[in-house]
Amino acid sequence: MSQVKKLLIIGSVWPEPNSSAAGTRMLQLISLFKEEGFIVTFASPAMNSDFMVDLELEGVVKQTITLNSSSFDDFVKELNPSIVLFDRFMMEEQFGWRVSENCPDALRLLDTEDLHCLRVARQKAFKEKRPFVEIDLLVEEVAKREIASILRCDLSLMISEYEMELLRGIFKIESSLLFYLPFLSEGMSNVDKLPSFEERKNFIFIGNFLHEPNWNAVQYLKESIWPLIKKQLPDAILHVYGAYPSQKVLQLNNSKERFIIKGRAANAYEVVRQARVVLAPLRFGAGIKGKLLEAMQCGTPSVTTTIGAESMHGGLPWNGFVTDDPLVFAKDSVRLYDDRSTWLQAQKNGVDIINLRYLRELYEDDFIEHIKNLQANLQQHRLNNFMGSLLQHHTLKSTMYMSKWIEEKNKV
């Protein structure tokens, strides 16, 4: 009788696919494992939110867990998962040692989403008004925690080829500990079913405002780029969408300037496919950008920065324009908005990028095969990762004893 295949996902938050690309990514991973016959449990210490996906409708068991509590030990031991997936390194820090102690034979996966240390280092460099250099990563405090987490896990899932190169080059992470798995998409063939150039109007920005690069990009639009576009296209409107807008975001709304803060979109796909051009002037960040992949899926060309387009299109022409100069950004935005032939070519470029780089079938079989091979050879794989076992032995203990101390303190 074959053993029941169980996947435990430990998330920092409950998935919100309508709020962020991270939520969509998580549902893609759940779908991959469910198709392989895994019983999936999603556990999180987070409070419920109004916008979280209904996991039970997705066929997933929902489990609330507690930080710094041995109740998790009892839970995970009873569940006895064959694979544990940590959603971001902070969850591995909190629960990884408990998984290791109670389910030592479970394959430990880390979904990085993006390299947090890269995003933080770039943001610091931006605030210090200097270019980011890769050596910044070596002095970044969060890098030590993140790299330790990657080493402790059996495999880390990466969505950015550039970040894989950073890990291998700067941090000397073995390739056997990394697996490239970008956002996954269905193929695109018939853009005729999408709204045409003539049927679309206005510019759009969309992004979760809990994410600092998005808030910074909206400020940049407001102060530097939109005034230049508006001067050439006085009747155009910019709609700014995003989940969790703060009061300072809402205060940017100005109908006279045709800069409209819309807040959360009930259906992000619908508002993007009605727009003519997506604007994404991101000045720092990491990973690949769900908003720009979504633009391509909607047949909507975009103008972005080198940070925005990083690792997204390989050597293929972009779905619009890429520039870091605000004057050029505005000029390209106007051209894309006004010139039908330029717009159609950009749309076609986006379809090519989707079909050649993000098709689900390009990755799913290799990923599942890789997981099976790791499970079959887990002991040898771990022997080959001496630094990981070293961190399990010593450095990891600090988080373990801190957690035990907090647990005892909470009892008082």
pLDDT in tens, 83-123: 999 999 999 999 999 999 999 999 999 999 899 999 999 99
pLDDT in tens, 190-235: 888 999 999 999 999 999 999 999 999 999 999 999 999 999 999 9
Q: How far apart are CA 194 and CA 94, in angstroms?
A: 45
State yes or no: pLDDT of 393 exceeds 90: no
Tell me, yes or no, whether 308 lies in a domain.
yes
> Does residue 180 share a domain with residue 197?
no
- Count the helices and strands in the chain (H runs, E runs): 18, 13
The domain containing residue 207 runs over which residues?
191-357
Q: pLDDT at position 81, please?
A: 98
Q: Give yes or no for a contact between 82 and 375, defined as CB atoms under 8 angstroms apart.
A: yes
Give the largest CA-CA distance in the chain: 71
Q: Give yes or no for a contact between 269 and 294, defined as CB atoms under 8 angstroms apart.
A: yes
Q: pLDDT at position 408, please?
A: 77
How does DSSP classify residue 132?
A: -
State yes or no: pLDDT of 395 exceeds 60: no
Calculate the alpha carbon distances from 248 to 214, 224, 244, 327 in Å.
13, 17, 11, 26
Which range has the worst mean pLDDT, 6-10, 359-363, 372-376, 406-410?
406-410
Q: How far apart are CA 346 and CA 351, in angstroms?
A: 9
Question: Considering the entire predicted model, what is its pTM?
Answer: 0.92
> Does residue 367 share a domain with residue 309?
no
> Does residue 234 share a domain with residue 152?
no
Q: How far apart are CA 33 and CA 39, in angstroms?
A: 8
pLDDT category at 394 given cuts 50, 70, 90 is low
Nearest to 240 by CA among 229, 230, 254: 254
> Does residue 341 share a domain with residue 378?
no
Looking at the DSSP bridge assignments, the partners of residue 206 are 241
> Does residue 371 share a domain with residue 323?
no
Identify residue 211 by its one-letter amino acid code.
Answer: H
Q: pLDDT at position 1, please?
A: 38
> Does residue 157 share a domain with residue 207?
no
Tell me, yes or no, whether 105 lies in a domain.
yes
Q: How many CB atoms lie within 10 A of CB 198?
A: 8
Q: How far apart are CA 63 and CA 80, in angstroms?
A: 14
Select from 357, 381, 401 the last residue of a domain: 357
Q: How many CB atoms lie within 10 A of CB 179?
A: 18
What is residue 44's three-state secondary structure?
strand
Question: Cβ-count burial of 256 within 10 angstroms (0-12 exposed, 13-18 middle, 19+ buried)?
Answer: exposed
Angle 41-42-46 (CA atoms, 0-180°, nearest 5)? Answer: 150
> Does residue 38 share a domain with residue 153?
yes
Q: pLDDT at position 4, please?
A: 86
Q: 3-class secondary structure for 235-274?
A: CCCEEEECCCCCHHHHCCCECCCCEEEEECCCCHHHHHHH
Higher pLDDT, 402 or 144: 144
**Beta strand extents in 12-105 (DSSP E only):** 39-44, 61-64, 83-87
Q: Give yes or no for a contact between 30 and 9, defined as CB atoms under 8 angstroms apart.
A: yes
pLDDT category at 398 given cuts 50, 70, 90 is low
Q: pLDDT at position 411, please?
A: 78
> Does residue 150 share a domain with residue 25?
yes
> Does residue 180 share a domain with residue 125?
yes
> Does residue 111 share a domain with residue 238?
no
Nearest to 404 by CA among 53, 70, 43, 83: 70
Q: Mean pLDDT for the chain?
A: 94
pLDDT category at 165 given cuts 50, 70, 90 is very high
What is residue 400's three-state secondary structure?
helix
Q: pLDDT at position 406, please?
A: 80
pLDDT category at 397 given cuts 50, 70, 90 is low
What is residue 106's three-state secondary structure?
coil
Nearest to 221 by CA among 210, 205, 237: 205
Q: pLDDT at position 396, please?
A: 53
Domains in the chain, number: 2
Domain with residue 200: its CATH number is: 3.40.50.2000
Sheet containing 155-158: which strands, arranged edge to edge? 61-64, 39-44, 6-11, 83-87, 107-111, 155-158, 178-180
Identify residue 85 by its one-letter amino acid code.
Answer: L
> Does residue 46 share a domain with residue 29?
yes
> Does residue 135 share a domain with residue 216?
no
Q: How far apart are CA 357 and CA 313, in angstroms?
A: 7
Q: pLDDT at position 190, please?
A: 80
Tell me, yes or no, whether 1 lies in a domain.
no
pLDDT in tens, 229-266: 999 999 999 999 999 999 999 999 999 999 999 999 99
pLDDT category at 60 given cuts 50, 70, 90 is very high
pLDDT in tens, 323-358: 999 999 999 999 999 999 999 999 999 999 999 999
Rg of the Cα atoms in the chain: 22
**Beta strand extents in 299-378 (DSSP E only):** 302-304, 320-322
State yes or no: pLDDT of 26 exceeds 80: yes
